[in-house]
Copies of this chain bind each other. A is one copy, B any other.
Amino acid sequence: MDLVWICIIVGLVGAAVVAYFVRYVLRQDEGSVRLKEISGAIKEGGLAFIHREYRTLAIVVVVVAIILAVVPALGWRIAVAFIFGALCSMGAGYAGMNMALRTNGRTCAAAQKSLNQGLRVSFRGGAVMGLTVVSIGIIGLSILYLVWHDDPNFLFIIPAYGTGASLVALFARVGGGIFTKGADAGSDLVGKVEAGIPEDDPRNAAVIADNVGDNVGDVCGMGADLFESYVETVVAAMTLTTVGVILAPWVKEVLFPTLSPEVALQRAWWLPLLIMAAGIVASVIGCFLVRVGEKVEMSALLGALRRGTLSATILAAVFGFLVIHFLGASLGLFWAMLAGLVAGALMGESTNYFTSYAFKPTREISEASTTGGGATIIRGFATGLMSTWPPIVLIALAIIVAYKFGSFYGVALAAVGMLSTLGVTLATDAYGPIADNAGGIATQAALPPEVRERTDALDSLGNTTAATGKGFAIGAAALNSLGLILAFAMAAGIVTVSGTGKLNPLPPELSLLSTPVIVGLLLGGLIPPIFCAMTMKAVGITTAAIIDEVRRQWREIKGLMEGTARPEYGKCVDIATRIALKQMLLPSIMTIIAPVIVGVVLGKYALAGFLIGALATGFILAITLNNAGGAWDNAKKWIESGQFGGKGSEAHKAAVIGDTTGDPMKDTAGPSLNIMLKLMSVISLMLAPVLMHFGGLI
């Protein structure tokens, strides 16, 4: 039997668990009429955004697919795989967000009963997202495999699937990120700062847009991001096994020393899929282990989530070992996989250390806030820069270990290991914005203060898991991107590997110090900062438009400030949607076109340098922006907890500036970089059959 059927079955099991969680959540109480009204407005706004975003996306996807279909070296199969990947990604994001929109209000209602019930509902809502992403991912890949693995172009078809997913993810992250932070900052500045009314006050026309933003940015964007990472790690590992259409000799020698070449190739393709399947089983078990007793302290909550992810990690390692053993692969591959798994877990912890106010770095930012906004920014930015070292060192170590035990395939397998437990990691991550939204709804519905306290506790925990999840997402992106770059280099014929898994002597053009590579490196290193500049500026434009609109409503709608009239929430949602969709185009299209231009004009060697250069600066920038942003957020929370004068003090004002600065960094620019790096790499891989013929003009 083709063992890939096991993956289909595991994917269906994942889907069944999703159905169980969906049923559980939907059976929960929706709360009062007012509560239903508010969550209904959020749902309406979120779905309106996503429908318009997907319409824009559909045009881009169809245009790209037509281009792919007509280029002779590519063809219709590639176009079909590309569309399939785009549809899977859209489906995963849509399903996750749709569920989150239905869980928000129910979490709020559940928190009226108890903290524990609030946790259960919100976590299961998040778990739907996590398990949907991995189930769709593995089923999609398995279908591609079963349909086309005998096709001689199979290894050029699967990158197209990844590219489709990547393209959707980039638009979702960038568009959603601009929307969410533009609405958030606009709402805060015009409400809290200018008018002096509380956060989430229903008189503020931008509050619904702010709540919608959490869903379209943090849920839908994050889901599409990690769906992409998930499928592309498998793509990279599969692609690295062959030279053209035949098995690379080193794969047999090094990875499957006891098998025949035909069997070895089949197993090399099965291996990443089956490790992912093992990870899904581990994740499902992990999800069910998240439960707390009657104790409702923070530490118990955190312990519950940690138990889930840690158990899943250990189980994934054990199952992964069994897969490697039974497929007759070299046991070295287990160490490669384990290196990725461990590095991923530690990177999450490092992010937590640098961004949680339980630790020194963030508390120092709070302290610096006592000397003003400038000091807050400098200290936070310094923390962000400093926080780059653990992830980079961990990734470097993972690469060294993985390469030693499994050559390039090992590096790709480390990424597979890292992402195998995505189901449960993503569940803990998606739960955060649900709790955040529940808090917003509680305030707008004027529920008793203890409800908001409970949702705040859930939200605060969500910040910790979100930080861990973000660290993990960046690391996965970096390792995955590297795997794709290696796959591109092999597919374009610019590196070859000897029978022992080492690199063969090279064409001089690929030297680190050849002009095409150096020029490519410099230009590639330029793309992430420009991309960040564009997206951060776009947030500013959205913010300004939202502020204008809220001011206009206060001026023109009589009785709004007195609470006798309702603001037009839909207007703000509409404005944020329109601007976000417009502003996402330029940076996204730059990402798609840049590697193609470099590949065609400067040649394939420069393109390899370009991708590595982008990885080097993009990785550093992504960590810096994410962690500085997270640290500023929590430094403000630390002051709000009563330190350094507490809320309303001068230190608090300075910390708020830090928080406002950090928002577009950590929720728009930073996470989009992950996708940008992967998208540029996978586009290059997909176009390798074309680009291999371009030697370049320099």
Contact = CB atoms under 8 A, between A and B. Distances in A.
B515 A495 contact: no
B508 A506 contact: yes
B511 A371 contact: no
Contact of A511 (B189, B382, B503, B529): B503
Given A374-B660, A377-B661, A657-B374, A529 B388 contact: yes
Contact of A513 (B193, B495, B547): B495
Interface of A: 185, 189, 193, 368, 371-375, 377-379, 381-383, 385-386, 388-389, 392-393, 395-396, 399-400, 403-404, 482, 485-486, 489, 495, 502-515, 517-519, 521-523, 525-526, 529-530, 532-534, 536-537, 539-540, 543-544, 547, 608-609, 612-613, 616-617, 619-620, 624, 656-661, 663-665, 698
A663 B537 CA distance: 22
A150 to B, nearest CB: 30
B396 A529 contact: no
A506 B619 CA distance: 28
A530 B617 contact: no
A507 B508 contact: no
B522 A661 contact: no
Between A395, A517, A526, A698, the greatest number of chain B beta carbons within 10 A of the residue's beta carbon is seen for A526
Task: Give the dominant DSSP class at A's interface.
Answer: helix
Given A385-B530, A657-B657, A396 B522 contact: yes
A76 to B, nearest CB: 32
15 contacts: A185-B374, A374-B663, A381-B661, A382-B532, A382-B536, A386-B533, A386-B534, A392-B525, A392-B526, A400-B519, A400-B698, A485-B513, A503-B508, A503-B511, A518-B612
Given A382-B536, A385-B530, 5 more contacts: A374-B660, A374-B661, A396-B523, A521-B612, A525-B617
Contacts of A620: 525-526, 529, 617
A518 to B, nearest CB: 6
Contacts of A663: 374
A375 to B, nearest CB: 6
B510 A661 contact: no
A1 B395 CA distance: 58
A658 B374 CA distance: 7
A616 B525 contact: yes
B513 A511 contact: no
B660 A536 contact: no
Nearest to A624: B529
A368 to B, nearest CB: 6
Given A374-B657, A620-B525, A513 B513 contact: no
A513 B525 contact: no
A517 B385 CA distance: 23
B502 A540 contact: no
A324 to B, nearest CB: 21
A616 B512 contact: no
Contacts of A529: 385-386, 388, 620, 624
A522 B382 contact: no
Contacts of A389: 526, 530
Contacts of A665: 378
A-B pairs with the 7 shortest C-beta distances?
A: A374-B660, A503-B508, A386-B533, A373-B657, A385-B533, A385-B529, A382-B533
Given A375-B543, A525-B617, A505 B505 contact: yes
Given A399-B518, A525-B616, A543 B371 contact: yes
A70 to B, nearest CB: 31
A381 B661 CA distance: 10
B513 A510 contact: yes
Nearest to A490: B513
Contacts of A509: 503
Between A379, A385, A530, A664, the greatest number of chain B beta carbons within 10 A of the residue's beta carbon is seen for A385
A522 B521 CA distance: 13
Contact of A400 (B495, B508, B515): B515
Contacts of A537: 379, 382
Nearest to A486: B513
A177 B677 CA distance: 35
B506 A511 contact: yes
B503 A513 contact: yes
A504 B495 CA distance: 16
Contact of A378 (B379, B536, B612): B536
Contacts of A617: 525, 616-617, 620
Given A372-B193, A613-B616, A510 B507 contact: no
Nearest to A190: B371
Contacts of A185: 374-375
A620 B624 CA distance: 14
A522 B395 contact: yes
A155 to B, nearest CB: 18
A256 B365 CA distance: 59
A609 B533 CA distance: 27
A458 to B, nearest CB: 26
Between A185, A536, A624, A659, the greatest number of chain B beta carbons within 10 A of the residue's beta carbon is seen for A536
Contacts of A522: 392, 395-396, 399, 616, 619
A616 B660 CA distance: 29
A504 B386 CA distance: 39
Between A189, A513, A619, the greatest number of chain B beta carbons within 10 A of the residue's beta carbon is seen for A513
Contact of A519 (B399, B519, B534): B399
A371 B403 CA distance: 50
A512 B193 contact: no
A504 to B, nearest CB: 6
A620 B524 CA distance: 11
Contacts of A374: 185, 656-661, 663
